Amino acid sequence: MTRDRIFTFLQTYAVLVLIVLLMAVLSVSSDSFLTARNLLNILNQNAPLAIMASAMTLVIIVGGFDLSVGAIFAMGSVTSAWLAVNVDPYLGLALAPLVGFLLGCANGIVITALKVHSFLATIATALIFKGIAIAVSDGRLISARIDAFTWLGRERFLGVFNAIWLMVIFAVLLTFLLNRTTLGRRIFAVGGNEEAAILSGIRTNRVKIAAFSLAGLAAGLAAIIATSRVALGQASAGEGMELQAIAAVILGGTSIYGGQGAVWRSVAGVFLLALVNNGFNILSIDPFFRDLTMGLIILAALGISAIGQRR
């Protein structure tokens, strides 16, 4: 293999190689790791983050960053619990993703209308969304212990948690969207060479707005799963999830410079981080080493991404 090919391979499959290695190590060092119960739990626990990372992939491919998805998650959490308690549980589950979609759309409009970098614009909108979430919930926890609300996050279908089903369906749909539809193609084109996309008659602003709207939708969807699981809506939910989602996408080898990437790899990135976390718990190692290890893994992924870009 030439040097170029090695980097392309690493950028594409490094995350899978690392997952396999880590699973092998953990299976050997602990009996409680390789059990259906533990593995299903890991998937279930991380399904909301995986949904957000899937959609974040689109935003990063189009050449943006979305630092507001954590705040949209908080809005989703508060909206769904408030509606469940005060109006109807099903309405809460249905409307929160829609709210997320609209907030994402607002992000896209702000970014394209003001022509500011999405990194900066979403820092600002995150504060606004968070502020609204606090105002709506009046700064309190909204308890929603209603079976018609909590089934989504707690129950299973065919022996597998609903959350896992939703995650798989969402990731498959986004993969289809990215690889088979005109929107997906335009997302790659805008991120790969915006000038060429403009000269090809593509309305690049609409493409960006679509990507951010999907990221918002995903955050809303993740929020209803997590909120119905804990039966609590709160404005402090989702804090830091935007950074975890971005880290997972980069770990999956999606180029931070845009134009390249795949949804499945971001999902794999989420589970790589989850496995590291789980492994440190099982082996009860000092959490200091856990953060250190995760930081080093992300740094290595960034390095590979940057080298890939320079080729």
Partner 1 sequence: MNADAILSVRGIGVRFGDVEVLSGVDLDIRPGEIHGLIGENGAGKSTLGKVLGGYYRATRGEIAVNGRTQDRWDTPTALANGVAIMHQELQLVPALTTAQNVFLGLEDHRRGVLRRTEADRLAALMEESGLHVEPNALAAHLTIAEQQKIEILRALAREARVIVMDEPTASLSKAEIDQLHRIMRQLRDEGRSVIYVTHFLDDVLDVTDRVTVLRNGELVQTRDTAGETKASLVSAMLGGVKSETLYPPKPRDVGEVVLSVRDLFSPNGTRVDQLEIRAGEIVGLAGLVGAGRTEIARAIIGADRAQGTVEIGGQPLQNRSISGATEAGVVMVPEDRRGQGLVMSLPVRANISLPHLGRVARGGVVAQKTERGIAKRLIEQLDVRPAILDGDVSNYSGGNQQKVLIGKWLAGDPRVLILDEPSRGVDVGARETIHNEIVRLAKSGVAILLISSEIEEVLGLATRAFLVDRGTLVDEIDPDRVNVGDVLTALFNHQGMKDGVT
The site for partner 1 (CB under 8 A) is made up of: 180-183, 185-186, 188-189, 191-193, 195-203, 255, 259-260
Residue 215 contacts residue 121 (beta carbons within 8 Å): no
d(CA 7, CA 118): 28
If the CB atoms of residues 47 and 174 are measured against partner 1, the closer one turns out to be 174
Residue 26 contacts residue 34 (beta carbons within 8 Å): yes
Residue 75 contacts residue 103 (beta carbons within 8 Å): yes
If the CB atoms of residues 165 and 264 are measured against partner 1, the closer one turns out to be 264
Spell out the alpha helix ranges (H) of 193-262.
194-199, 204-230, 241-251
If the CB atoms of residues 140 and 180 are measured against partner 1, the closer one turns out to be 180
- Three-state DSSP class for residue 238: coil
d(CA 209, CA 187): 10
d(CA 248, CA 57): 9
If the CB atoms of residues 161 and 188 are measured against partner 1, the closer one turns out to be 188
- Three-state DSSP class for residue 1: coil
If the CB atoms of residues 36 and 199 are measured against partner 1, the closer one turns out to be 199
Residue 10: CB minimum distance to partner 1, A: 17
Residue 192: CB minimum distance to partner 1, A: 4
Residue 81 contacts residue 74 (beta carbons within 8 Å): no
Residue 301: CB minimum distance to partner 1, A: 18
Residue 36: CB minimum distance to partner 1, A: 37
d(CA 170, CA 204): 24
Task: Quickly tell me which residue has 């630092």 as its tokens.
Answer: 67
DSSP state string for 42-69: HHHHHHHHHHHHHHHHHHHHTT---TTH
Residue 83: CB minimum distance to partner 1, A: 31
Q: What angle do CA 250, 254, 260 make, to 5 degrees?
A: 160
If the CB atoms of residues 62 and 152 are measured against partner 1, the closer one turns out to be 62
Residue 216 contacts residue 72 (beta carbons within 8 Å): yes
Residue 4: CB minimum distance to partner 1, A: 9
If the CB atoms of residues 105 and 123 are measured against partner 1, the closer one turns out to be 105
Residue 199: CB minimum distance to partner 1, A: 5
For residue 128, how many other CB atoms are within 10 A of its CB?
14
Residue 6: CB minimum distance to partner 1, A: 16
If the CB atoms of residues 154 and 206 are measured against partner 1, the closer one turns out to be 206
